[in-house]
Amino acid sequence: MSKKINFEIVTPERTILKDKVESITIPTQKGQITVLSGHIPLIAILAPGEIIVKNEGKDKVYMAVSGGFVEVLVNKVVILADTAERAEEIDESRAQEAKERAEKLKEEKRGDAREFAALSAKIEKEMARLKVARRRRKI
């Protein structure tokens, strides 16, 4: 059996998960990475997407994250997320609504570069939430 990693994911509002796990898949700005035990120290900026936590003998845990940072130390991973939710906490229909609303607004605000960028980011976040929520339904 491989060594386990101390994993912790926190947001400014609460601690989402704190556990010993086998592997964690994290969306970073340069692409998705998977951290296993013995990874070298790393600090990366997160991109909106899904985090997958694997643990032997247990179901995978899916989480949607909107951005933040990850710090990987030897056998310890800390994720400082701006916001994060576990799949079972996401209301799919509301996420869908929010995404559509943001897309509509984005069309209207084409002229305003700052608003446009903010809305694009929002859409990306909602997409990540949707993806995670749907994945749960499939299981």
Partner 1 sequence: MPANTRDILRRIKSVNNTKKITKAMEMVAASKMRRAVNMVLATRPYANLSWNTVLHLSQIKGTEFHPLLKKKDKYNKILLVLISSNRGLCGGYNVQIVNKATKSIKKHNDGIKKTEIITMGKRGAEMIVRQGYNVVSDFEKPDLATGIHEVRDLSNLVINGFLKEKYDKVMVAYTDFVSSIKQVPRVKQLLPIDLASDDEYLGIVGKDERVGLTKEFIKEKAEKYLKKEKHSFEYLFEPNDKEVLNQMIPRLIEVQLYQALLEANASEHSARMLSMRNATDAAGEMIEDLTLYYNKVRQASVTQEISEISAGAMAMNK
Least Å distance, CB 53 to partner 1, is 17
Give, as ranges, the residues between 85 and 124 that touch partner 1 (CB under 8 A). Answer: none
137/26 Cα distance (integer angstroms): 21
Least Å distance, CB 73 to partner 1, is 4
Q: Are 24 and 11 in contact (CB under 8 A)?
A: no
Name which position in 54, 60, 71, 135 contacts partner 1 (CB under 8 A).
Answer: 71
Name which position in 4, 19, 35, 69 contacts partner 1 (CB under 8 A).
Answer: 69
15: contact with partner 1 by CB under 8 A: yes
Least Å distance, CB 14 to partner 1, is 5
Q: Are 61 and 53 in contact (CB under 8 A)?
A: yes
Burial class of residue 7, CB neighbours in 10 A (0-12, 13-18, 19+): buried
CA-based radius of gyration for the chain: 16
Interacting residues toward partner 1 by CB under 8 A: 8, 10-15, 28-30, 40-45, 69, 71, 73-76, 78, 80
